[in-house]
Structure 1
Amino acid sequence: MQSHDAYGTPRELFRTFFGVIAETVREVLGADWSPETDDAWRKLLDEIESLVARSPAKIA
């Protein structure tokens, strides 16, 4: 399995990308976006950031 580095994708882009998805879902849900939903997304974004940070970097 190749890491994101094999594709030349900057690590910080992952949190940004999924953060944009969260903001889009928030806009679509409107008043149905709850504090619980917000908390779940924040935890997911933190987990994504942690996983990407721990993945091995591409060695040139």
Structure 2
Amino acid sequence: MTVINNARADVRTEERDDGKGGRNVTFVLEEQVASAITRPGSAANRAMRANFGVGQRLVKR
């Protein structure tokens, strides 16, 4: 398997035995996804708003 990371994003890999003689490889992009979701106007932020009705909370002062 080859992963090309042109964005230089931090990607963590986790590899486990699947119990059948094979391997399960998981690529974790947790920090990048969290950053994209919280960045106003990003594609991930727009998708969350459009598909799940998620929006920013207004702070009462």
TM-score above 0.5, yes or no = no
TM-score of the aligned structures, taking structure 1 as reference length: 0.27
TM-score of the aligned structures, taking structure 2 as reference length: 0.27
Structure richer in strand, relative to its length: 2
Higher relative CO (Cα under 8 Å, sequence separation at least 6) belongs to 1
